[in-house]
Structure 1
């Protein structure tokens, strides 16, 4: 007969065996899990390294292609803008390197840059709209009839500056007097809305040069102000191109806004890769295209319908 003491020892032995089994099993499970996690980590690390190598290789190919474009750009654009004039208007985020590159390629195309005008943050900030509109209405040149639909700050500014900075598309003559041009520029500079260096003269074409844009719209309606400015400017001369980086074609960037607006995109040419030589070439070709009444959405960003002028749509 089994005594109570032996029965207790048997039960204790069973629980001890269970405890040992759980401990041993947990150890084996933990080792298995750790081994699996180590394998996953190694696979992810290999994938990251592979993607980095691919990214580096693509970057090298892009740099090589851009170098080739730079080498042949002068041959491509030669005489494209012969005896044509261009004024460059830049937004606050425009890259100085893009400005220099654009002026270089306009010169290579046989054209001339008649001046650079820089828009300030106050100009593109929607909160300064009332102040800018008041300033603009006080400097309307005699004989200039502003468009009735140009009521927002971007459209009104584009209409007025277009009348003083661009030549008449029919006669290729100034639309205002030198004194009216000087008054408009000096007044806007005194108000903190623009800046410029040297002698600015009217031109046949305009390029509105922007940078990476503001896809997150942290600056209010900045993109809309610039897009409408460029669109109204376009109607005052032989043509205007809104050129910027890829990010300006995303979110609420100026090019994205222009492309999303059916009325704007029908007349205003946009180029979303002006930071590349191919984009600068396209900008020059697009100016020439506008002489024949054409326009397009060029580049490699969202909303682009062709890589460059004359290329097939993807």
Structure 2
């Protein structure tokens, strides 16, 4: 049991320790302690300098590798997408530099960009999920079908797939006899409705394509980050189902739990059909995106990049 006497003894001991510490402050004991601390500081400084130098060497090597990959990229992808039509779908956090580089590489590969669609942040906003559900039902073109799931990402992806992509693995014409699954006037009305509601940015309507690239940034931020990432992942999954295939490509962090790439990779049934790239900010990642499109056209899929849950750096590399 703690007594008053115990408290008094404890207080006295504390004051004695303080007094002793002050007394030792000017003694040789203090000097020895200071000497030890100074030695530890010097050792730590040397270690920091060594680590800084190593980091600089690694960054230089990475820049050299990226520069080399950029120089050989056109030759690596040449002819890989011959006579293939590709539409670009850009998430709100997609980097314009990634878009431009991927566009250029697709052209080097012999593919044709039919246009691009810019998504706004609203399309992954959980607060607007009910509005998306209502719009997709009202804007769905005649003859098109929405997925059986009722989540906002899947419904939005189903609607966009019906107006952006050609039907089936070989990109066959839709039942309306047009180039896509929807008649041009109905496709235009659907995109206009999504634009007016603030889910996509105004711009020219892309022509129907066989393949899609969905570009995003890194991990989502905020309290609803996981839900936003899941919505974009579901949207990309439905685009993959709608045409000959799709590739979801993001920057560093996209393969994390709150990144759309990470959400896809966490579900084996999804990642076995939808290809993902987690380092599209690099030349190697951009090459992987184009080669993954080629794989998609052949009915195959993979996980590419430098994240721990990737299987290889690029298609054709060793599996992980």
State TM-score, norm by structure 1: 0.89
Q: CA RMSD in A?
A: 1.9
Q: How much has 1:197 moved relative to structure 2?
A: 2.3
Q: How far apart, in 2, do the equivalents of 1:25 and 1:252 lie?
A: 53
Corresponding residue SS for 1:182: helix
Q: How much has 1:198 moved relative to structure 2?
A: 2.4
Q: How far apart, in 2, do the equivalents of 1:303 and 1:145 lie?
A: 33
Q: Is the 8 A contact 1:215 1:250 kept in 2?
A: no
Q: Is the 8 A contact 2:211 2:297 kept in 1?
A: no
Q: How much has 1:245 moved relative to structure 2?
A: 1.0
Corresponding residue SS for 2:139: coil
Q: Does 1:280 align with 2:286?
A: yes
Q: Does 1:227 align with 2:233?
A: yes
Deviations along 1:71-112, whole A, 9 cap, x unmatched? 111111011111111111111111110011111111111111
Q: How much has 1:219 moved relative to structure 2?
A: 3.6
Q: How much has 1:304 moved relative to structure 2?
A: 0.6
Q: How far apart, in 2, do the equivalents of 1:120 and 1:49 lie?
A: 44
Q: How far apart, in 2, do the equivalents of 1:279 and 1:313 lie?
A: 16
Q: Is the 8 A contact 1:204 1:237 kept in 2?
A: yes
- Residue pairs, 1:119-158, within 5 angstroms: 119-148=119-148, 150-158=149-157
Give the alignment partner of residue 194 of structure 2, picking from 188, 191, 216: 188
Q: How far apart, in 2, do the equivalents of 1:70 and 1:284 lie?
A: 13
Q: How far apart, in 2, do the equivalents of 1:196 and 1:104 lie?
A: 23
Q: Is the 8 A contact 2:218 2:252 kept in 1?
A: yes
Greater Rg, structure 1 or structure 2? 1
Corresponding residue of 1:7: none
Q: How far apart, in 2, do the equivalents of 1:210 and 1:70 lie?
A: 20
Q: How much has 1:184 moved relative to structure 2?
A: 1.0
Structure 2's unaligned 5+ residue stretches are 1-18, 174-179
4+ residue segments displaced more than 3 Å:
22-26, 215-220
Give the alignment partner of residue 216 of structure 2, picking from 210, 216, 231: 210
- Residue pairs, 1:166-185, within 5 angstroms: 166-169=165-168, 170-173=170-173, 174-185=180-191
State TM-score, norm by structure 2: 0.87
Q: How far apart, in 2, do the equivalents of 1:224 and 1:218 lie?
A: 10
Corresponding residue of 1:29: 29
Q: Is the 8 A contact 2:145 2:158 kept in 1?
A: no
Structure 1's unaligned 5+ residue stretches are 1-18
Q: How much has 1:171 moved relative to structure 2?
A: 4.5
